Amino acid sequence: MSTPGSPRWRARWVLVSFLITWVITRIVTTVLHVEGAGSNGGLMVGGVHIHHAIFGITILFVMTLAWVIGAGWSSMSSTSKLRPILYGIGWALILDELALLLNLADGYWAPLGNGSLIAVAIFVVVTGVASVRASDHFNSV
């Protein structure tokens, strides 16, 4: 086990939450084809398809804003799992639709969709290395 709050501990929670969110997102958008959703399982609001990357961007925006203004959320202490879990969820939702963001077209499994798969693979490898090689000494961030 790693020390709660250490860089290795945070990287592991980011990686786990990222992988779980990414797998669930893939299941919902490609296997289940959620009724009433857009062509790839997105949320439809007033006839507008809301892509899940928007939710990831919103999560990361709120997290960044909380950090910038120094919000003292008791659930966001250095040893809280909430912060790295939210980062993992946010990045999974964004990177899953990276090809869409780069090409402005749905095409996850098309050749232009490789950007999303490559980005996900890079994120998993880099975060995986950090979860093994990062310091296990607690430091407040």
**What does the pLDDT look like over 118-135, one tens digit per residue?**
889 999 999 999 999 988
What pLDDT shows up at residue 13? 94
Residue that has been written with the tokens 């963001």 in this structure: 101
Q: What is the mean pLDDT of residues 20-49?
A: 70
What pLDDT shows up at residue 57? 94
What is the pLDDT confidence band of residue 59, given thresholds at 50, 70 and 90?
very high
What pLDDT shows up at residue 129? 94
**Helices 82-96 & 52-69, crossing angle to 10 degrees?**
140
Question: Coil, helix or strand for 105?
Answer: coil
The answer to whether the CB of 11 falls within 8 A of the CB of 134 is: yes
Span 61-113, pLDDT tens digits: 998 888 788 765 555 566 678 889 999 999 999 998 887 777 666 555 566 66
Q: Which amino acid is at 12?
A: R
| Phi, then psi, of 82 in degrees rounded to 5 | -60, -45
The alpha carbon dihedral of 125, 97, 29, 34 has a sign of positive
This prediction's pTM: 0.78
Q: How far apart are CA 111 and CA 86, in angstroms?
A: 30
